[in-house]
Amino acid sequence: MLDRQDRKLVLITGGAGRIGTALRPLLGADYRLRLADLRLPSVPAAEHEEIIQADTADLGSRRTCDARRLARAHRPADPTRQLLRGE
């Protein structure tokens, strides 16, 4: 069994949202998780999780969040698209 630090890193954008929160226990058994969101999650970070409060729509923030990751597990909704379409 791999030590936690030897596990691959997965970025969950929208980590404080409904889908990001649901993915945490599913992926946390096998991967280290980096959670990125504009707001902080309601559930504190576990030992294998890292929380970054950032706007992933901003290129500089996205580069910080993406550093050394294996995969992105979730792409959050963009509320500005709904506003532009009048939804």
Tell me: the pLDDT tens digits for 34-71? 999 999 999 899 999 999 998 877 877 777 777 666 66
Structural domain boundaries in the chain: 4-85
Concatenated DSSP letters of 19-31? HHHHHHHHHHTTS
Chain CA centroid to CA 84, Å: 25
Average pLDDT, the chain: 79
Which CATH architecture best describes the domain 4-85? 3-Layer(aba) Sandwich (3.40)
Non-local CB neighbours of 6 within 8 Å, separated by 6+ positions: none
Which has the closest alpha carbon to 58: 35, 32, 78, 82?
Answer: 78
